[in-house]
């Protein structure tokens, strides 16, 4: 899926910046370029944005025992912060469309 097809650039940029500032490796549309959900529901021109984020499970789970790592709580906190940040971006976008 091409950049911007499912989600406005300002939203994508805010997510990339937020995650990058926290030391996460960020790749856009690689190795995955979205799927049915983003393609079906994301229509930025209609004000509907779909952003898919893949999280490497080795960051939060022991892949042998399938138990949470101690870092799970911090990761959950970071993702909550991302949601809050993206909510702020959307409030800005409502005031001035993307």
pTM: 0.85
- Report which secondary-structure segment, H or E, holds 41: helix 36-41
Query: Which residues, including other chains, have CB under 8 Å from residue 2's CB and lie 6 or more apart?
Result: none
Give the up-direction half-sphere exposure of residue 11: CA atoms within 13 A in the CB hemisphere. 26
> How high is the pLDDT of residue 51?
92
> How high is the pLDDT of residue 3?
60
Of the two residues 36 and 76, the one the predictor is more confident about is: 76
Residue 75: pLDDT band by 50, 70, 90 thresholds? very high
pLDDT of 55-67, one tens digit each?
999 999 999 999 9
CA distance 73 to 76: 5
């Amino acid at each position: 899926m091409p950049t911007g097809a499912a989600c406005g650039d300002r939203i994508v940029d805010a997510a990339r910046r937020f995650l990058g500032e926290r030391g996460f490796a960020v790749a856009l549309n690689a190795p995955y370029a979205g799927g049915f959900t983003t393609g079906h529901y994301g229509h930025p021109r209609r004000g509907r944005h779909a952003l898919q984020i893949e999280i490497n499970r080795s960051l939060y789970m022991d892949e042998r025992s399938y138990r949470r790592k101690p870092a799970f709580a911090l990761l959950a906190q970071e993702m909550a912060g991302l949601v809050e940040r993206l909510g702020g971006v959307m409030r800005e976008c409502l005031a001035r469309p993307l």
